[in-house]
Amino acid sequence: MIPDQIITSRTIIRLTTPEDLKAIYNWPSYPVPFTEYNMKNPLWKGKDGRYWWEQIDVPERVHYSVLLPETKEVIGLHAFVDIDRDKRIINNMGIRFRPDLCDKGFCTETLSVLFASVLDSGIQSIKLDVSAINPRAINCYKKCGMNIIGDFWIKHDGDPVDLKDPFWTPHLQHLKQEKDYWLRRHYLMEITKKHSDLS
């Protein structure tokens, strides 16, 4: 139902291997304010003690690595999480790209091709959630055909909120201060088979 490999104009997208997982730990770190997305952040560990991208043997997941065809370097990772095969719905996604290759169009390119291929395979809906203070990611997903269908609040475990730092000014609408921590808005986004056919 979901393809094993897809070729784009600049990349190879294929099922993730254990060797791929070793490669991503050599990626450089994400800069502030995105350090929470670093690959060794305990925040991303599941109940079994593994990071979500390490759970390639879980039946309700399908993990794809993004490689450069010339060097076979692993530059990205897409994980379909919580797949309901009976309803043909993917309820969430995990996405990472090597920090030094962000803002170069790789995510938009690979997600657009991957979404089209997966929806053509019979999946009816793909959803993900994204931090409202990450407009770069939101814009990428919109370019790929996703729409915001809702929002919710979670505890902010990212870089400390510094109200004196101008970075945070445009994001204050997406933050709520509690006694000793901040809450952060997340958007729920979706692309459907119907929407994909119309685009």
Q: For the chain, what are the domain ranges? A: 5-198
Read off the pLDDT of residues 68-110 as tens digits, 9 standing for 90 and up: 999 999 999 999 999 999 999 999 999 999 999 999 999 999 9
pLDDT value at 195 more than 70: no
User: DSSP character for 158?
Assistant: S
The pLDDT, as a whole number, for residue 1 is 54
CATH code of the region 5-198: 3.40.630.30
The pLDDT, as a whole number, for residue 51 is 80
Q: Which residues contact 51 (CB under 8 A, 6 or more apart)?
A: 39, 44, 45
The pLDDT, as a whole number, for residue 40 is 76
- 45 bridge partner residues: 51
Read off the pLDDT of residues 151-160 as tens digits, 9 standing for 90 and up: 999 999 888 8
Read off the pLDDT of residues 175-190 as tens digits, 9 standing for 90 and up: 999 988 999 999 999 9
Read off the pLDDT of residues 105-133 as tens digits, 9 standing for 90 and up: 999 999 999 999 999 999 999 999 999 99
Q: Which amino acid is at 184?
A: R
Q: Checking phi first, is residue 180 left (phi over 0); if not, alpha (psi -120 to 50) or beta? A: alpha
- 176 bridge partner residues: 183
Answer for the pair 59, 3: CB distance below 8 angstroms, yes or no. Answer: no
Read off the pLDDT of residues 14-48 as tens digits, 9 standing for 90 and up: 999 999 988 988 899 988 778 888 877 777 777 77
Distances (CA, A) of 135 to 103, 112, 123, 139, 166: 12, 18, 27, 6, 16
Of 99, 127, 105, whose CA–CA distance to 192 is shortest?
A: 127
